[in-house]
Amino acid sequence: MMKKLLLILTIFLNLEAIEIIKKPIVFDKMRMDLTKDYIKNHYGLSVDNINIIPKMIVIHHTAVNSLKRSFHRFNPSRLLIDRKDIAKASLLNVSAHFLVARDGTIYSLMNETHMARHVIGLNYSSIGIENVGGQKKSDTLTKEQLEANIKLVNYLKKKYKTIEYLIAHSEYLKFKTHELWLEKDNSYKTIKSDPHKKFMKALRKEIKGLKN
C-alpha cells in the first residue's frame, strides 16, 4: 500500500489534470501555537485559527539542489538552529504550501489555507511555492519546474478566485505600503534574490490575469 506521504491526488479542472503528491510536513500543536503567536506578534491579530484567504502566490527557490534536504528544512515545527538571521523574530519554522522537485513533481506540504512562514509581511494572505534549486543564487531551476509552476499557479488561480497577485520572493518589499502588508516591525526584513528573474519572466509569460 502506498504510504500516506506519497498519496497521489489527480485533480481535473477545466479538462486539465494536475498531479499533486501529498508529503506533509509536521503540523502539530507546537506549530499551530507558534503560528498563532507569529500572527499576534507580527500582525497584531489575536486569532483562534491560522486560516488565511489567499490573495497572492509567492514563488521561491530553496537554494539547495536536493529534494531531501529541502524537505528537511521545512519539516520541523521549530526553526533550525542555523537560521539566526530570523530566529529573533520567531521560533516558528519556515515552510511553504508546495515544493516542486527538479523533475517537476509537485508536493503538497500543508493545507493551502493555513498560514505558512515564507515571506515577511505577506504570510497572512499568500500561498508559497518552493522550487528545489537555486544553489549559490544560480539559475538552476529546470524546464520541468517551470512547466509545473505554470500548471500549479493556474490551478490555484482557478480554485481561489480571491488570488490577485503573483510575485517572486525577491519582490516582497515592494508591498511594504500595500494593504496586504501586515508586518508591524519595520526593522524585520531580509534581502532575497529568489527565484532568478529569467524564471519569473518565463512564468509570467504563461500566466494571465494576475498582477505583480
Residue 29 lies in a domain: yes
User: Can you give the residue range of the structural domain that contains 106?
Assistant: 4-206
**CATH number of domain containing 126:** 3.40.80.10
Q: Once rounded to an integer, what is the mean pLDDT over residues 181-201? A: 97
Q: How far apart are CA 72 and CA 11, in angstroms?
A: 27
Provide, rounded to the nearest whole percent, the portion of the chain with pLDDT above 70: 92
Query: Which residues fall within 8 angstroms of residue 207, CB to CB, at 6 or more apart?
Result: 150, 153, 154, 157, 166
Instruction: Please check whether residue 81 lies inside any domain of the structure.
Output: yes
Find all residues with CB under 8 Å of 58, minimum gap 6, and list them.
118, 119, 122, 126, 127, 128, 129, 167, 168, 169, 172
212 within domain boundaries: no
Respond yes or no on whether the N-terminal peptide bond of residue 24 is cis (omega within 30° of 0): no
Per-residue pLDDT for 10 more than 70? no
Residue 136 banded pLDDT, cuts 50, 70, 90: confident
Q: Where are the beta strands (DSSP E) in the chain?
A: 7-13, 16-22, 56-61, 98-100, 106-108, 126-131, 165-168
Does 211 reside within a domain? no
Q: Is residue 84 part of a domain?
A: yes
Does 71 fall in a domain? yes
Give the pLDDT confidence score for residue 8 in this predicted structure: 54
pLDDT at 137: 76
Residue 138 binned pLDDT confidence (cut-offs 50, 70, 90): confident
Of the chain, the percentage scoring pLDDT greater than 90 comes to 89
Number of domains in the chain: 1
